[in-house]
Structure 1
Amino acid sequence: MKSPGASIQIKQKARELGFLNCGISKADFLADEKNRLESWISHGMNGEMDYMTRNLDKRLDPRLLFDDAKSVISVLLNYFPSQKQEDPDAPVLSKYAYGTDYHFVLKDKLNELLSFIQTEIAPCNGRAFVDSAPVLDKAWAAKAGLGWIGKNTNLISVEHGSFFFIGELIVDLELEPDDKIVRNHCGNCTRCIDACPTKAIVAPYVVDARRCISYQTIELKGELDENLKGKFDNRVFGCDICQDVCPWNLKSEPHHEPAFESHPKLLKLSHREWQEMNQPLFNELFRKSAVKRTKYSGLKRNLQFLYNTNETKDYASADQQLPEE
């Protein structure tokens, strides 16, 4: 097939569905990612995320993941909120977790895009991916020209910053791929590295998950690392620090996705109300949220770990300017 018109139609529909951007890649082997991924795992930087060690062949080659895969369609969905938590002393919740769990929202939109392709472009088989299989989201988005991988290992867009979710459709249609690669614009900036309170960014473009606050407060199932006690800067679920200080996030604008709006009570919670949170309140606030992943017991564990370490810094108000390149 490989019709430029089809790719244009798909991108137009993606914008209609509310995606920030959409790009297309040929489904192929990610040769540039192989050594990086294998080195990261060999040094144990995946921590207890054993799933990262499985299906490496499929993680690097979508043709092994989806029969007759020919194209990877990558999309970005904004989640940057218009409001933030009101109490500056309250435990800090990552912005991505304010509203409805993104897995459901993003997958529904991707499936709608797939239905459009099947009915308006050409009959095909396809599958939506939102953290649901061994797919290297950021690598595919970068390959599709949607941004570059920053020193904090997040995908960064020149137009939109980095406060967005990434998802994919893998289809058996041969679509016209995007041949533009966005060059790295980090320059000599090291704000993300310098700001990380646990020093999880152990080198430019390398994050040791074991030291990452997001890993500790979400992925880790047991006790939190006592060596990191007092270094969480009040983060109770996830962490946005390396994004908050990134100058490119001056480009971030509030999302327009109703599902990502927070529960009316959530952003008003005081420090004391967080500390006194019980199961019924947890159920009320996080019924549809990604916070359910850590469960009530996990959130209480995180809160207890933060006890007497509730000093906060307003990273987002730091003096920011785009880096010299």
Structure 2
Amino acid sequence: MQNQNNISEKIKSKAKELGFLDCVILPATELTEEKEHFQNWLDADMNGKMGYMERNKEKRLNPRLLFENAKSILIVLQNYHTHKTQEDPDAPVISKYAYGTDYHFVMKDKLKSLLQFINNEFGPCNGRPFVDSAPVLERAWARRAGLGWVGKNSNLISVEHGSFFFIGELILDIELPFDQPKIVSDHCGNCTRCIDACPTNAIVDNRVIDARKCISYQTIELRGDLDENLKGQFENRVFGCDICQDVCPWNLKPEPHDEPHLKPAPKLLELTREEWYKMEKPQFNQLFKKSAVKRTGFKGLKRNLEFIQTNTDE
């Protein structure tokens, strides 16, 4: 049997080799502390029409109900920041995370590689990767892992890495040497830059986002008509929103990622405002076939474009 510390070091070394910023190993136990906060958010209807947030509530809080015989959970971070920007300053704006290949696929492939490594090195086990597409409270797990604190904009923020990163998990049915759970102290202080900068006032007290007012929710998650009360407040955002992260002091000097699959697509960054509004479905399918933008669909993108067009055309 290998030395326990050696096992942990090898796994974390492999995670870094795969391009993850960090990796922490914790026991797959219930998130009891988060239960009340999560329920209060749902009771206030701040999830909007994201009905899936109300389903499988117990699974969100307990990974042992989500994955049979779960014993360990690995929490990883993946940087997605880039210094590259869209070239036309008047073009509709999309979030940085959507510049390259859909992160769900990129992250899951990496986590599967990590699972295969663990199988090869330490014996057979079963595992399942999760990346923002299953009932897992990933931010809560990352906080418990000591990878950051929850900022006033409700994002996980790291002293070392800022907040432009994805969070992923790998749940295993074997017990690995665990890291000591720890809580990083809050470093937001009296700063309210994210709250002040949010054009739709979606950030409420107690580090809570009212999804119904959030530009990301409106342009990505919401099906049907956008909220007319928010007309003229999207600041030219057509898919997602980075405003509360862009103004955060902890993101003043973020390091760019070096993940090839997340590399910004040149044709996307080159799109002019006119080209965005003249876009037809074949071009949409070609341009976004591997992008997270396809999640909103061509119809959804056209809806978003029409909604923000009055911001500059009237």
Q: Distance in 2 between matches of 1:118 and 1:272?
A: 51
Cα contact 1:3–1:176 (8 A) shared by 2: yes
Deviations 1:269-292 (A, max 9, x none): 111111111112211210100011
Cα offset, 1:249, TM superposition:
0.9
TM-score, normalisation: structure 2: 0.96
Corresponding residue number in structure 2 for 1:215: 217
Q: Which amino acid aligns with 1:76?
A: L
Q: Distance in 2 between matches of 1:175 and 1:271?
A: 51
Cα offset, 1:254, TM superposition:
1.0
Cα offset, 1:31, TM superposition:
1.1
Deviations 1:114-155 (A, max 9, x none): 110111123211111112320001111111111111111111
Cα offset, 1:71, TM superposition:
1.2
**Identical columns (%):** 67
- Mapped pair 1:278 → 2:303: no
Q: Which amino acid aligns with 1:34?
A: K
Cα offset, 1:61, TM superposition:
0.5
- Mapped pair 1:264 → 2:263: no
Cα offset, 1:224, TM superposition:
0.2
For 1:129-140, list aligned pairs within 5 A: 129-140=130-141
- Mapped pair 1:182 → 2:218: no
For 1:267-306, list aligned pairs within 5 A: 267-306=269-308
Q: Which amino acid aligns with 2:109?
A: D
Q: Distance in 1 between matches of 2:140 and 2:177?
A: 18
Cα offset, 1:3, TM superposition:
2.1
Corresponding residue number in structure 1 for 2:207: 205
For 1:1-325, list aligned pairs within 5 A: 3-179=4-180, 180-310=182-312
Q: Distance in 2 between matches of 1:113 and 1:71?
A: 14
Q: Distance in 2 between matches of 1:205 and 1:121?
A: 40
Cα contact 2:84–2:264 (8 A) shared by 1: no
Cα contact 1:160–1:251 (8 A) shared by 2: no
Deviations 1:279-306 (A, max 9, x none): 1221121010001100010000000000
Q: Distance in 1 between matches of 2:174 and 2:189?
A: 37
Q: Distance in 2 between matches of 1:223 and 1:274?
A: 20
Judged with a 3 Å threshold, the aligned counterparts in structure 2 of structure 1 residues 251 and 68 are, in CA distance, closer, same or farther, namely farther
Q: Distance in 2 between matches of 1:143 and 1:121?
A: 25
Q: Which amino acid aligns with 2:154?
A: T
Structure 2: tracts of 5 or more residues without a match = none
Corresponding residue number in structure 2 for 1:317: none
Secondary structure (helix, strand or coil) at the match of 1:31 reads coil
Structure 1: tracts of 5 or more residues without a match = 312-325
Cα offset, 1:258, TM superposition:
1.2
Cα contact 1:142–1:182 (8 A) shared by 2: yes
Q: Distance in 2 between matches of 1:57 and 1:37?
A: 11
Cα contact 1:214–1:239 (8 A) shared by 2: yes
Q: Distance in 1 between matches of 2:195 and 2:8?
A: 37
Cα offset, 1:181, TM superposition:
2.4
Secondary structure (helix, strand or coil) at the match of 2:296 reads helix
Secondary structure (helix, strand or coil) at the match of 1:99 reads coil
